[in-house]
Structures are given as C-alpha cells and as structure tokens.
Amino acid sequence: MLESEHKELHDFLKLVGSIGDKSNKYYLTYIALRLLEMKRILKDTGSIYFHCDSTIGHYIKLLMDVIFGHKNFRNDIVWERSPVKGGKASSKQFGKNIDNILFYTKTDNYYYNQVYKPYDLNSKHNKFKHIDSNGRIYSRYTPLGNYSQESIDKFESQGRIYTTKNGKKQLIRYLDETKGLALGTVWYDIKPINQVGGERTGYATQKPVPLIERIIQASCSQDGIVLDPFCGCATTCVAAEKLGREWIGIDISENAYRLVKQRLESEIESKNSLFVKVEYQEEPPLRTDQEELSKKEKQEYKKYLYGHQQSICNGCKVSFQINNLTIDHIYPQAKGGSDSKENLQLLCHNCNNIKGDRPMSYLISKINNNKDIKFRF
C-alpha cells in the first residue's frame, strides 16, 4: 500500500534500508505508518512535535519532511537535558546531553502562541538591575533600534529614555511591563526528571511535565485537544489536564497501560488532585466510521481494486487476470482489522496462502527475506 499510495515515502524507506542498519528501516516504517495516521486526523490548524535523540533524529527529520512536507517544518528545538559529567565527560567524544524536538504543522494556517520564560534576575546576563523611586525594577540597556522618531519623542516625554555618557540614547523598560524572555530553539532551563524525585515513575523515556506544558501552551488553544500516541507514563496526559486541555493518550505497551493508570490514580490521591475519577478500559475502541461492504459491494470493489492495482498482486507484484486474484484484508480481521474499503487489497492465491491470517507486513518480510519462495502462476 505504501508503494502504490505513498511512493515518495516508500522510496525513502527503501533508500534507508540500503544504506544502513536494517533496524533503522523497520523502526522508521513503524513510525511512518503512525505519522500518516497522525497527519490524517490532525486539524489544519494543528501541530505535531516529535521528540528524538541524535541516533535517529536525522532520519526522523527526513521522514517528516516526506509526510508533512518540508515547507511545514517549523523548528528543530534542542533540549539540554543535563550538564556533561561523569562517564560522559571522560569518553572519547563530546558528551551527549541534548535531545531534539521536531516541530511541524499540517498547513500554514496553524495556531501558535508565543511562550515566554521569566527573566532570571540572578543571571550574570540580567539587564534589570535598577530600581526607581517607586520601587519598580527596570533596565536601561535596550537600543532604540527601529523605533520611529515619533515613538522616540513619546518615550522621551514619558521619561523612558536614558542617555549614556557618550550621548547614546537607550530605552528604559520596566520588568512588570514585560511578558518575559521570548523562547528560542535552545531550551536549557527545564531540568530532567530527578532520579529520586516524586515525579519519577521509572519509565525509561519519561519527560518532565514542564517540557510538555511548554509545547502545549505554544501550540494548543484552550479549546484544543492534545493527543499523545506514545503516552508512556502519562506525562502528556497530566500536563494537558493541568492546563485545562482535553486529551487522549494511546500506548501499545501493557506496562505503559499500568503506569498510566497508576499515575492518574496517584494524582487523584495527591493534595492538588487534577482528576475526580479515572475511567479506563482494557479493550481498544471499535471504529464506527467505516462501513462494512455487502457481498455484492465487495465484488464491485474488487473491480475497482483491480484497476487501482493495475492487475498486479499486492504481494509478489506479478500481473494476473482478475479471477486469479482474491480480496484480502491488509490487517486481518482475526487481529481486529475491519472489513472496510481502506483495509482491502488484492492478492494472488499463493500470496494469500503465505500471508494467512497475519498482517501484510508478515508477507512482505517473507518475500523480501526468502528469495527462493516458489510462486505457482
């Protein structure tokens, strides 16, 4: 299906498989299928953030360029997790202490709210060092820059201009009138999870709540919905709830399911409880937006698939007469796959027998790894 419907993506994954470790291709294919779904359900005003490290980040960047379009790339945010110390400082390479957060949108018409961080008055770079007669803290080091003469005259009438010893005029800014320091793409002010802190759950890839809060504040409006398809230990769920956003958390790991339930219940028991009650279910929800086809409709759709696949079996890629191809479920019904159009394809009898009631990925790997498979045509 990737080759016929997403050729550019298929070609990229094929290239990755030819130049490096095969595991990179398998991982990227796994991620690509999910990113396609994320793009499908993302609102036109929505954004997507992908947290990765330097091991695979460059591949992820290209993958997201292919799926979302390079013009919808917004930022590569660097999060400095921790200082370089211990074994990191003594190895034969620069210490690894950053992660990357790739920021993409679906369209140009995306929601964005500029996020600021408070000024650190104890920093050696702090400019707010002066206090006026009313006790207001101010800075007098801001260049006038591109301000018009009219604005400068107005500032002077308000007593907001400071003249240096060499006659240079600079703007006086009051701390209580500023929103804070506008964020760039290097985030070094959010610390990692404390190894022994109360927030720590033991989940290997746990992120600090303030990191997720910052992303939500920047890209999700108050009436928006936050989705984390790899919700792990529920950090995104907790952060979204704290900020008053609707949220959805998904994870395939049973261990993650237990951690999410445990963490949300612990939030209920805490003094500053975010939740009233945790509602959960172990069975995945059933889709209701895909109508199953009748036997007659399925035969009609077979003719469409025959033309769409250009008479070629979706497994072995050999051309057949329509009577020698059978309708097959890409993701088997035995595993929860639907009987809808989106989950149907045509396979020859041999490929259908090899695939059985397994996903299409099984057949593809079987064909790729066993060149000596005998197909009877």
Q: What is the pLDDT of residues 339-348, one digit of tens each?
A: 888 889 999 9
Q: Report the CATH number that the domain containing residue 67 is assigned in CATH.
A: 3.40.50.150
Distance between CA atoms of 323 and 131, rounded to whole angstroms?
87
Q: Report the CATH number that the domain containing residue 310 is assigned in CATH.
A: 1.10.30.50
For 356-375, the pLDDT digits (tens) are 988 888 888 888 776 555 54
For 197-241, the pLDDT digits (tens) are 556 655 556 789 999 999 999 999 999 999 999 988 889 998 998
pLDDT above 50 (res 377):
no
Query: By the 8 A CB rule, do 126 and 120 touch?
Result: yes
323/359 same-domain check: yes
* Cα-based distances in Å from 13 to 62, 95, 318: 10, 30, 22
The domain of 96 spans 1-115+183-189
Considering only residues 337 and 213, tell me which one the structure prediction assigns the higher pLDDT.
213
pTM of the complete model: 0.72
Q: What is the mean pLDDT of the segment spanning 169-177?
A: 90
Q: What is the DSSP letter of 197?
A: S
Q: How many domains does the chain divide into?
A: 4
- The tokens for 82 are 């921790």
Cβ within 8 Å of residue 212, ≥6 positions away: 235, 236, 239, 240
94/200 same-domain check: no
DSSP 115-166: -EE---TTSTT----EE-TTS-EEEEEEE-TT--HHHHHHHHHTT-EEE-TT
Angle between helices 7-19 and 22-41 (to 10 degrees): 160
376 belongs to a structural domain:
no
88 belongs to a structural domain:
yes
